[in-house]
Structure formats: structure tokens, C-alpha cells
Structure 1
Amino acid sequence: MTLAARAPVPGRFRRPRALRSERRTLHSWLMLPVEAVARLMTITWNPVDAFFEAVFWRDAKRPGKPFHGGWNSMAGRLARAVVPRTRNGAHVVMQVTGHHLRLAYVSSARTLTGAPGAVELGWYTDLRDVTWIRDRSDVVGGNHEIGFVDGSWCSVHFVGDGWSRMPDAFPLRLSHLDAIPTAR
């Protein structure tokens, strides 16, 4: 599971630390220069273009809103938890049980035997706090908006086998044609 492509990414220090006991692997050390070059390539060097994009063109480029509520809302906490800070990277897995909505972090680093790395439970909330899920496959296949009791909602992208069955576990499923319910 990832954030939807057009959802805002929380800053580094807003994101939770995950898999703290894990050590950095040789692969992640070797990838540091590649990541640094990739970050430098994304910097906008012209301050005038950056100003106009921030002020005038941002909303025109992004149709629809991918997120509603602040970073401290329930949707904001979910958005922060979907992009954890780790040493080696992690795959985020959403689990819907009878009573909870949880995120689990599975390390991207493999052991010497080739087995998957460490697993850690992350953010969770009571399933009663989730009021609806809305299919946004009209935007991109696998995109869904998850709404919470405080009126906030967040766009996420389900990937992997069985993602199409994931919405069936939520209390109220909406299609992309349905309006977003308002908070009570």
C-alpha cells in the first residue's frame, strides 16, 4: 500500500520511525549517492518558476483533492504512517481485522538466506473510526479514499494480489460517483 500519487507527502520528521532495530545493509549504503543525485535532480533551480507554481499553477495541475484534514487528523496520521522512516526501506501492508485497521511494516532488506526481513506493527485505529471507503479507480486502478469519523479522509493506492477485494472489509463502500459523506 502506498499513498496515492497526487497525495501530499509528509515531511521527514512527521513520519514515524519503523524497524528501528534493523541495521543498514550494504545495498542501502550503496544507494545513498543515487538517492542524493535523484533529490538534487528534483530541485527547482529557478525561484520565479517555483513561486508561480506554488501560488498559481498547483491547483490547476491536480484535479480533485487527494487529502482532507490536517496532519494531526486521523487521515493525516494514516498518511504519515504509510511513508515510514527506515534504514533499508519497508513495504507497508494494510490489515483489516474484525475490530481494527492496522499497518504493518515489512523490511525490504533480505536475510542472508533470502527470507524476508523484519516485520513490525505500526499505526492502527479502531474499525469503528473508519466511516467509509470510496473507490477511485476512475483516477487510477487501486486508488481508494478512506474516510474517518472526524471528517478527514486520505487517498491510498492498494497494490499486490487481492487489492480489489480490500474494500469489502470496510463498513460503507462508495463508488466514484457517490459524494463524500460529511462529518456529523
Structure 2
Amino acid sequence: MSRTDRGRETVERARALVPAGEVLLGQHGVFLAERAPRPGCFRRPRALRWERRTLGSWLTLPVLGAARLYGVTWNPVEALVESITEREPKGKKKPGEPFHGGWDSMAGHLARAVTPRTKNSTAVLMQVTDRRVQVVYVSQARFLTGRAGAAEVGWGTDLRNVTWIRDRSDVAGGDHEVGFADGSWCSVHFGGQGWSRMSDVFPVRLTHLDPVLVPVPVPG
């Protein structure tokens, strides 16, 4: 199966996860932006948990483990601690920084959703419908076993909770900050062709020159 055919199948299987009665406005592969903080291992959700690990996945475990251990920091002990602890993002955040809000904020839930723990290689896509934003997972195990892998919906929220999306291609092409009604935001990366069209499906779109929109509390 060619790479184009694989991509087409992944897109179609993700499209089948759109809730009945909703209109899919856009979907694209999504990752955390490189400069955004990564949630610790125990903060990341388990996805496709009923899927069996393929032989190829078992063989790459040592490589992935070593990359994770030594790629985060030059200090392997510190890297191990950071990868398993539930540590909140450090420092006071301000507009222009890649993440604002704790891991239990809406932005934190998005960051956790796009970094799932899976047994096999998995495509992570963001979908925007006329009602919601959701993250879906499509296993890539089929391309090793010949059998279709699992697919499921992960985190999602009402579209009204997403107050803006901000293009940060001034930092890296495909980077966007997604802002939420609770005042939090998270930087994600839309990879591959067509990333520039993904932001068009959100109600409020900002450039990197526009200020972050912080919700004003309504008096009780």
C-alpha cells in the first residue's frame, strides 16, 4: 500500500468517527508544537487500549525509550523524572508563549489528548464539526499486519469553548495556538499538506500580530 493510499484510508476511517447528525468542517493530523511543554507519562491518556502490540512495535520499544530518555534533556535522571511525574508547566505565562493553564485546564486536556499512550503507531487527528472539536486516534498497525487496526474518539469539547485560533507560522509553519473559554491556550502543530486551511474552519482566527483574546468574567 502506497503512502498516499495509507493517508487516504486513515482520513476516511477518521471521518467515520464524526457523530451522526454533525457536519465535518475540517480535520487534520495534529501534534504538540515543538516548543510546547509535554505532559508527563501518567497525564497522557491510554488510547486504543484493546489493540494488541505488533512485532514491529515491540522491536522499536528500546529505540523509542532511549530517544525519550536522552532527547528531553542531557541529564537522563531528570528526563526520567519529568517523563513519569505529573508536573505542572513551569513559570508565569504571558501572550506569545506556547502554553497557558494547568494540565486540568481545557488547553491542558488538549495537550494530553494529542500525546496519547498507544501500543502501536497511531495517527492523531483533530476534527472540527459544526458542533464540536475532537481528537481522534487511528491505528497504523494495518500497514504492518494487513488487518485494519482500531480507531476511536478521544477528547472533545463543544465548539463554543474554543474562543480563538492563532496562526503562529512566524515560529514554525503549521504551528497554531488554540484558545479556550477558560482563558487557557495550547500550541499545536498541523503537519503535512493543507495545514494552512485547517484554521479556516474555526469561528475566530487571529494572526501572530493580533493580541490573545482573554475572556472577561461575567458578574454574578
Do both proteins adopt the same fold according to a TM-score greater than 0.5, normalized to the shorter chain?
Answer: yes
Partner of 1:44: 74
Match of 1:17 among 46, 51, 62: 46
Within 5 Å, which residues of 2 pair with 1:146-157? 146-157=178-189
Counterpart amino acid of 1:99? R
Structure 1 residues not aligned, in runs of 5+: 48-57
Q: Please report how far the alpha carbon of residue 114 of structure 1 lies from its aligned counterpart in structure 2 after TM superposition.
A: 3.7
Whether the aligned pair in 1 keeps the contact of 2:123 and 2:140 (CA below 8 Å) is yes
* Residues 56-107 of structure 1: CA deviation (Å, up to 9, x unaligned): xx98xxxx51100000000000000000011113111011000000110011
Question: Percent of counterpart pairs with the same letter?
Answer: 65
Counterpart amino acid of 1:69? G
Alpha-carbon RMSD: 2.1
Mapped to 1, the partners of 2:120 and 2:127 lie a distance apart of 22
Closer, same or farther: CA 157–33 of 1 in aligned 2, 3 Å: same
Partner of 1:127: 159
Partner of 2:26: none
Closer, same or farther: CA 124–34 of 1 in aligned 2, 3 Å: same
Counterpart amino acid of 2:175? N
Mapped to 2, the partners of 1:113 and 1:89 lie a distance apart of 12
Counterpart amino acid of 1:121? V
Instruction: Tell me whether 1:8 sits opposite 2:40 in the alignment.
Output: no
SS at match of 1:72: coil
TM-score (norm 1): 0.85
SS at match of 2:61: helix
TM-score (norm 2): 0.72
SS at match of 1:20: coil
Whether the aligned pair in 1 keeps the contact of 2:101 and 2:184 (CA below 8 Å) is yes
Closer, same or farther: CA 39–133 of 1 in aligned 2, 3 Å: closer
Within 5 Å, which residues of 2 pair with 1:57-68? 64-68=96-100
Mapped to 1, the partners of 2:144 and 2:39 lie a distance apart of 33
Closer, same or farther: CA 166–18 of 1 in aligned 2, 3 Å: same
Q: Please report how far the alpha carbon of residue 45 of structure 1 lies from its aligned counterpart in structure 2 after TM superposition.
A: 4.0
Partner of 1:98: 130
SS at match of 1:145: strand
Match of 1:108 among 126, 140, 145: 140
Counterpart amino acid of 1:86? T
Instruction: Tell me whether 1:72 sits opposite 2:104 in the alignment.
Output: yes
SS at match of 2:123: strand
Instruction: Tell me whether 1:164 sits opposite 2:193 in the alignment.
Output: no
Counterpart amino acid of 1:178? D
Q: Please report how far the alpha carbon of residue 115 of structure 1 lies from its aligned counterpart in structure 2 after TM superposition.
A: 5.8
Instruction: Tell me whether 1:26 sits opposite 2:55 in the alignment.
Output: yes
**Number of residues of Structure 1 aligned to a counterpart in Structure 2:** 170
After superposing the two structures, state which structure 1 stretch, 135-144 or 155-164, moved more. 155-164
